[in-house]
Amino acid sequence: MGLVEMAESVFARVRRLLSARIEDTVDQMETNGGDTVMREAIREVDRAIDEVRGQREASMARRLQAAKQQAMVEKRIAELGEKARFAIAEGREDLAEAALTRQVDFETEIGKLVAVQQSTTTEEAKLEDSLASLRSRKSQMEDALRAYTEAQAEAGLGGDKGFELQRTTERKVEQAEAAFDRAMGGAGGVNFTRADAKTINAVAELDSMQKSASVKDRLAALKAEAAGKAA
């Protein structure tokens, strides 16, 4: 199975895990009289997180290798240009033509390597989004399991408190489900929107401000450098 096929299978698994309703899992826990179902579901999410992380690292390694190869090919193209100039100077047009032909071949390879880097960069971003969504999903499931376990323990003692904790479980499950529904609203199937949009938007705005400040600093440095050379 190739890298693309593996990535597609990972994304399919992520979609399946995120499309499962937490409420259904809690219902199964109640039917089976235990929390085994939820614990196994959480373990499956953990396994998916490990798989996505490994796929992301493989994609990153492929991108870095392509970048390294591109640098090597670009160096070779420059060397061939010098060889062609030398051949012309020596009156060997045939050798210059051969060097230039080889340059064209290498330039074609450059295009392929650039395409690899672009595709792997996109894939890395999707995998990173999948990781974030899976981690959020795991947290929701752990909250639901913890609330369920506490409610079951209190219900065993009897009284109104047990009933109240059961309602707490239901509220937490509803909150987890609502967060998941927001996550599934993201476009593309894998670019899942994080829960708590207000916080994420604030962080995104901060990232944008930091990026703009960095660009301004670099631009000012370049201008200062240019002015120093002109002086």
Residue 101, domain CATH: 1.10.287
Q: Is there a contact between 151 and 26 (Cβ–Cβ < 8 Å)?
A: no
Q: In the predicted model, is pLDDT for residue 175 greater than 70?
A: no
Return phi, psi of residue 143, to 5°: -65, -45
Q: Are residues 229 and 142 in the same domain?
A: no
Residue range 58-75: mean pLDDT, rounded: 95
Cut 0.85: pTM above it: no
Q: Are residues 115 and 46 in the same domain?
A: yes
Q: In the predicted model, is pLDDT for residue 176 greater than 60?
A: no
Look at residue 217 in the predicted model and tell me its pLDDT.
85
Look at residue 170 in the predicted model and tell me its pLDDT.
57
Half-sphere exposure of 31 (CA within 13 A, CB side): 8
Residue range 40-66: mean pLDDT, rounded: 92
Q: How far apart are CA 48 and CA 40, in angstroms?
A: 12
Determine which helix (DSSP H) or strand (DSSP E) holds 48, and give its type and residue range: helix 36-89
Q: Are residues 85 and 64 in the same domain?
A: yes
Q: Are residues 155 and 231 in the same domain?
A: no
Q: In the predicted model, is pLDDT for residue 183 greater than 80?
A: no
Q: Are residues 103 and 8 in the same domain?
A: yes
Q: Are residues 191 and 124 in the same domain?
A: yes
Q: Are residues 124 and 225 in the same domain?
A: no
Number of structural domains in the chain: 2
Q: Are residues 14 and 84 in the same domain?
A: yes
Q: Are residues 161 and 86 in the same domain?
A: yes
Residue 216's domain spans which residues? 198-231
Q: Is there a contact between 144 and 173 (Cβ–Cβ < 8 Å)?
A: yes
Q: Are residues 35 and 132 in the same domain?
A: yes
Q: Are residues 190 and 203 in the same domain?
A: no
Look at residue 192 in the predicted model and tell me its pLDDT.
40
